[in-house]
Amino acid sequence: MKYIEFYKLQNDGSQKVIVTCYLDEKGEVQCDGDSVLIENLKNKGIRDYSSQDKSGQLFFKDGLKFLEQLEFNFTSGYLNASGIKEK
């Protein structure tokens, strides 16, 4: 199963997994964990940095593409997304 993890940076420099997102059997994204972050991801979507003008938005229905783009949207260090993992 393909999935990604969100890491929240703590004051001591360690990171904590606060959300995991994965593809369901329909190829859509599902997430578990911090409800505020999940709601914002679901409702606001994320930026598609692979599109030419970087202005396209991706949502849960975009499945794998959404998962692939998360690590480029969340790069601040304070809240990072991993690349796609497999289990």
Partner 1 sequence: MNETLSQPQEKERRYKSSPQEIVLETGGFEKETRLLGGGVGDARWVKIKDDGCGVFKPHSRHEKERASWFVSRERAAYLVSRFLGFDFVPPTVVKKVEDQTGSLQEFVEDATAAYATNARDILDGERSKLMVFDDLILNLDRHGGNYLIKNGRIIAIDNGYSFEQAYTFRLKSSSIYLDYVPASLAEKLKRFASSQEQQEILRDLLKELLDGEIVDAFMERVDAYIKSINLDNTFDRKKFELFLRNLV
Tokens encoding 16: 């904590």
CB of 28 to partner 1, least distance (A): 20
Are 71 and 58 a contacting pair, CB within 8 Å?
Answer: no
Instruction: Give the residues across from 31 on adjacent strands.
Output: 21
CB of 67 to partner 1, least distance (A): 13
Tokens encoding 13: 């420099």
Residues 4 to 63 in contact with partner 1, rule: CB under 8 A: 5-9, 11, 13-15, 18, 34, 36-37, 40-41, 44, 46-47, 54
Per-residue three-class SS string for 28-42: CEEEEECHHHHHHHH
In the complex, the residues that contact partner 1 under the rule CB under 8 A are: 5-9, 11, 13-15, 18, 34, 36-37, 40-41, 44, 46-47, 54, 71-83
